[in-house]
A and B are shown apart, each in its own frame.
Chain A
Amino acid sequence: EAQLVESGGGLVKPGGSLRLSCAASGFTFKNAWMSWVRQAPGKGLEWVGRIQSKPHGGTTDYAAPVQGRFTISRDDSKNTLYLEMNGLQTEDTAVYYCSTGLAGVWGQGTMVTVSS
């Protein structure tokens, strides 16, 4: 069974950085394109970005609010997806989920709080 487990969330000051990880199991990670989706407290779902599989070029795409501040990467040898977040703003406070492809499988999420 496919499973995703996020980690790395926490409390960070505005302007700070954080790196989230997503450990994958139960499917062929190296062939999967992966995404990050976030949900601010009491709000709806918002795509953050995605990374294609290396056989398809490994390219990344980002939503406008995080373009230039967030970076998605992957380590296929470790079956792990990453989200590097820099220049964090209070508006980035949310639960961050990793997901496979078009969100067929989701992790449990990790909370990121940006506050002074």
Chain B
Amino acid sequence: DVVMTQSPLSLPVTLGQSASISCRSGQSLVHSDGNTYLNWFHQRPGQSPRRLIYNVFNRDSGVPDRFSGSGSGTDFTLKISRVEAEDVGIYYCMQGTHWPLTFGGGTKVEIK
């Protein structure tokens, strides 16, 4: 299975400041079809996860442009610019290139 390693585990941030979460995969996520299936999710306490970013950098509908994804190969980043109170929760990366699909362990974002 492809291991997805997120860092940091916990991320205290100040409102209005930016935050970055790293996600590294155990092998390249470039699919044979040329796409890189790396997604980012946000889960608030007691709620279902919500996908924010798909295929590395594409924002899902309704996702604020404060969220951006970047990276390639095995190294990926989610950046949140101008953090707002509603951004607290756990962020997960997920690879969809290799079966079984696997998630990172999660990064908990909280307000300082």
Q: List A residues at the B interface (Cβ < 8 Å).
A: 35, 44-47, 50, 61, 63-64, 97, 102-109
Contacts and interface: CB of A to CB of B under 8 A. Distances in A.
23 contacts: A44-B92, A44-B105, A45-B41, A45-B94, A47-B101, A61-B99, A61-B100, A63-B100, A97-B48, A97-B49, A102-B37, A102-B39, A102-B54, A102-B101, A103-B39, A103-B49, A103-B51, A103-B96, A104-B51, A104-B54, A106-B48, A106-B51, A108-B48
B82 interface: no
A76 B92 CA distance: 31
B69 interface: no
B103 interface: yes
Nearest to B106: A44
A38 B49 CA distance: 11
